[in-house]
Amino acid sequence: SQKIEQNSEALNIQEGKTATLTCNYTNYSPAYLQWYRQDPGRGPVFLLLIRENEKEKRKERLKVTFDTTLKQSLFHITASQPADSATYLCALEWGGGGNKLTFGTGTQLKVEL
């Protein structure tokens, strides 16, 4: 079965710096990969989707890369702000139809002043 690995340790960075989060996966070749943000006590919120034939996608201060050879996605937040502090989840298309997703456990990001 597929396995998704995200760094379980919190990432602490200084305001204004670029945060980079990593998502590695094994045993599968997903057609697309998604990133979500989750705040405490809330449901995850969709941020970006990147397809297997896309190397990079951007949305405002967010950038996602997808390397299907390395089986890795990197999620970047540039000019980070304290409001970016949250847990970020990586999700892969499960396969077999139904738009099913399998999620990583997430990485907590803390942006400090």
CB atoms within 10 A of CB 70: 11
Residue 99 touching another protein (CB under 8 A)? yes
Q: Find the part of the chain contacting another protein (CB under 8 A) among 22-30, 52-60, 63-71, 98-106.
A: 98-106
Interface residue with another protein among 66, 73, 106, 107 (CB under 8 A) is 106
Alpha carbon distance, N-terminus to C-terminus of the chain: 41
Residue 3 touching another protein (CB under 8 A)? no
Pick between residue 46 and residue 56 the one whose CB is nearest to another protein.
46
- Closest residue by Cα to residue 5 from 77, 109, 103, 95: 103
Interface residue with another protein among 24, 74, 78, 94 (CB under 8 A) is 94
Question: What single-letter amino acid sits at 45?
Answer: V
Instruction: Number of helices (H) and strands (E) in the chain: give both, helices first.
Output: 0, 11
- Closest residue by Cα to residue 90 from 77, 78, 73, 113: 73
In the shown chain, the binding pattern of residues 24 to 63 toward another protein, with x for contact by CB under 8 A and - for none, equals --------x-x-x----xxxxxxx-x--------------
Site residues for another protein per CB under 8 A: 32, 34, 36, 41-47, 49, 89, 91, 94, 97-106
